[in-house]
Amino acid sequence: MAGQEEAPLEPTRSLVLDANILLRAVLGVRVRKLIVQYSERVALFTPSLCLRDAQAYLPRIAKQRVWDPKPSLELLEALNVHFHVVDSALYEHFEGQARRRIAGRDEQDWPVIALALALQCPVWTEDADFFGSGVPTWTTRTVELYLRRES
């Protein structure tokens, strides 16, 4: 009807963001654009560990590239409105299962797998260590197929 505002869409799907996706959102354009574009329709989550990792890596990357890390850290902070940072209390009871699923690879990534198991949703990552973990995994090259899929 004319003159009436549409109610915001409730997210119908969820996706767990790995730390490398957070870094790509800050350092590149495509990932940031996808996060902003789809965050109202797809609930995006990341373990608090991934956010801390991204915050720690950005100054290192800035030092290597000889630029000020402050704008990158500010951009990461601004992007926080588009995803939910989840404390380990929500997924810690999946730790054992997550560690078994990623055993022999980068076991420090267990929180991403555990959160995906807790939320029963896929992971968005560029890290091949997640492939074969038994959790659906999307890369940036293909994630838009998941993001734009209608409910």
Per residue in 89-118, pLDDT (tens digit) is: 999 999 999 999 998 888 889 999 999 999
Rg over CA atoms, the chain: 16
Q: Which residues of the chain have pLDDT under 50?
A: 1-9, 151
Q: What is the per-residue pLDDT for 2?
A: 43
Name 44's bridge partners.
15
pLDDT for res 105 = 84
13-148: in CATH 3.40.50.1010: yes
CA 47, CA 87: separation in Å to the nearest integer? Answer: 6
Q: What three-state secondary structure class fits 108? A: helix
**Is there a contact between 99 and 77 (Cβ–Cβ < 8 Å)?**
no
Angstrom CA distances, 104 to 50, 101, 126, 129, stand at 20, 9, 18, 9
Q: pTM of this prediction?
A: 0.89
